[in-house]
Structure 1
Amino acid sequence: MPVHRSGTARKRRLTAAGVLLAAFSFFLATPSSADTDAGADAGAAAPPARGSAYMGIGVAAHDGRSGTPTSADVTQTEGVDVSGYQGNVAWSTLWNSGVRWAYTKATEGTYYTNPSFTQQYNGSYNVGMIRGSYHFATPDTTSGAAQANYFVDHGGGWSKDGKTLPGSLDIEWNPYGAACYGKSASAMVSWIADFLNTYKARTGRDAVIYTATSWWTQCTGNYGGFAANNPLWIARYASTVGTLPAGWGFYTMWQYTSSGPTVGDHDKFNGALDRVKALANG
């Protein structure tokens, strides 16, 4: 009888130890909620393919979601901006809807040219629009001067034909990594100045700066030194443009939505069509 009790107790102890061991092993093998959330965030934050960036790629997440612009005191002229993402664009449809100016992505960094550039750049021109091209900046890959030269050499030039707008520098959130491309505010300002100075030396025109106030404040320290020469193209998906970056008392263009008709990104030029032509003519 004592032997029987001893065997039973031993089995109970072994069984209890087994249960505890299994529970401990399950705990080690099962990720915590924090681990799961981190994995989900990592998956969601996976960067897109190089070259696939476009104007406003980070705007919806950081600086506005949607909204219809309120009526302005001056006439505003509808525009559109496109990239390789849109492929062949129905320019006649856009023209018939009232769009009168357009910008096409030409380049990114010193490694990408838009495969749809010719159809988009020439197509907008052929239906009567005043058009220009833009460069998506990647300040962490090459210098501002190198990217300005690459831009000019691959569609970013300018000619005084009355229908070609000066090139635009798209400087905004980094879709491939850290928002400010790993640069301090002063280093970012220097990079932008390098691009702008080189572009003007090559073309004789001051480039348009496309940006969002929140990014500009974070990544340049809200630098105001470019406002005297470089027209501002502000990005904000809301009913108003809100606060502008330092130095600019007004915007020249406003990208107000990424969900417009026919093509996603629609814009307002802060003036009538004759002012769009004036910017084209320099």
Structure 2
Amino acid sequence: MYLLGASIALLALHGVQGSPVDLEGRAQPQGVDISHFQPNVNFKTLKANGLSFVFIKATEGTTVISDTFSAQYSGATSAGLIRGAYHFAHPDSSTGAAQANFFLKHGGGWSSDGITLPGVLDIEYNPSGAECYGLSASAMVSWIKSFSNTYHAATTQYPIIYTTTDWWKTCTGNSAAFGSTNPLWIARYASAIGTLPAGWSFTTFWQYADSGANPGDQDLFNGDLAGLKAIAKGS
């Protein structure tokens, strides 16, 4: 994921908006998210360190397939971690439906096996152009709906949306259209989650740091291990 600001937020299914978080000794399952920037992760070490889940980059736009995804996904599975894939969106290059189908074809699928998290739509700051990819707020909302509905039709699950509150307000007009369907993964590097985008009153996942004791970005699930497994089963 591209971390171009200090207020990226991970929205979730369970949680309390804006509550301070003590990262020491929390009961919430901990995890990381990784990509080709972390090509040599020892997943057994992650498991031994107490981590419960990992998100792995699979695709970007309709042209990029992570060359480390397959090995990382297999490694996470062998280590006994709950895992899921994410797609970095480029709303300026093709439709939401086209990118959802590309993601599904190259690792973004879901099955009710208790170890596979729904796929993630990583939609945030443009790393190489206009912040909102040249789309109006209404066009951006339509693009996200296209991706989300296509993914849901193929898997029965709505994708998790990873974003920041700042980007969401700027580029969707702070749309409240997804809070009742899509879990939120909010990214914010601070001691508290802060204000969430419209439509969500709590967060399911929180990306709270871009480095830490384990490789990749550092994440928390806002619930217990049983709740995390329930999401992986489609509950």
TM-score in terms of structure 1 length? 0.76
Provide the C-alpha distance between the structure 2 equivalents of 1:104 and 1:63, rounded to a whole number of angstroms. Answer: 17
What value does the CA root-mean-square deviation take over the aligned residues? 1.7
Is 1:169 matched up with 2:115?
no
Is 1:92 matched up with 2:38?
no
Q: Is the 8 A contact 1:224 1:248 kept in 2?
A: yes
Aligned match for 1:125, one of 69, 77, 86: 77
Runs of 4 or more consecutive aligned structure 1 residues displaced over 3 Å after TM superposition: none
Q: Which has the higher contact order (CA 8 A, sep 6+)?
A: 2
Provide the C-alpha distance between the structure 1 equivalents of 2:126 and 2:67, rounded to a whole number of angstroms. Answer: 22
The gaps in structure 1 that reach 5 residues or longer are 1-54
Q: Alpha-carbon deviations, 1:8-32, whole Å to 9, x = none? A: xxxxxxxxxxxxxxxxxxxxxxxxx
Q: Alpha-carbon deviations, 1:97-131, whole Å to 9, x = none? A: 11110110000000000100111111111111110
Q: Is the 8 A contact 2:163 2:186 kept in 1?
A: yes
Q: Is the 8 A contact 1:56 1:235 kept in 2?
A: no
> Which deviates the most, 90-99 or 237-246?
90-99
Partner secondary structure for residue 84 of structure 1:
coil
Corresponding residue for 2:65? 113
Larger Rg: 1
Provide the C-alpha distance between the structure 1 equivalents of 2:129 and 2:74, rounded to a whole number of angstroms. Answer: 33
Corresponding residue for 1:272? 224
Q: Is the 8 A contact 1:139 1:181 kept in 2?
A: yes
Provide the C-alpha distance between the structure 2 equivalents of 1:75 and 1:229, rounded to a whole number of angstroms. Answer: 26
Higher helix share: 1
Q: Is the 8 A contact 1:90 1:262 kept in 2?
A: no
Deviation for aligned residue 1:139: 0.2
Provide the C-alpha distance between the structure 2 equivalents of 1:71 and 1:125, rounded to a whole number of angstroms. Answer: 26
Amino acid at match of 1:135: H
Amino acid at match of 2:175: Y
Is 1:191 matched up with 2:137?
no
Is 1:207 matched up with 2:159?
yes
Corresponding residue for 1:58? 4
Q: Is the 8 A contact 1:173 1:215 kept in 2?
A: yes
Amino acid at match of 1:58: L
Identity of aligned residues (%): 56
Amino acid at match of 2:142: S
Provide the C-alpha distance between the structure 2 equivalents of 1:249 and 1:118, rounded to a whole number of angstroms. Answer: 35
Deviation for aligned residue 1:69: 4.2
Q: Alpha-carbon deviations, 1:70-103, whole Å to 9, x = none? A: 259x831101100111112111111111111011
TM-score in terms of structure 2 length? 0.91
Provide the C-alpha distance between the structure 1 equivalents of 2:192 and 2:41, rounded to a whole number of angstroms. Answer: 28
Provide the C-alpha distance between the structure 1 equivalents of 2:45 and 2:221, rounded to a whole number of angstroms. Answer: 19
Corresponding residue for 1:259? 211
Provide the C-alpha distance between the structure 1 equivalents of 2:34 and 2:206, rounded to a whole number of angstroms. Answer: 15
Provide the C-alpha distance between the structure 2 equivalents of 1:80 and 1:240, rounded to a whole number of angstroms. Answer: 18
Deviation for aligned residue 1:56: 4.1
Amino acid at match of 1:279: I
Is 1:217 matched up with 2:163?
no
Partner secondary structure for residue 59 of structure 1:
coil
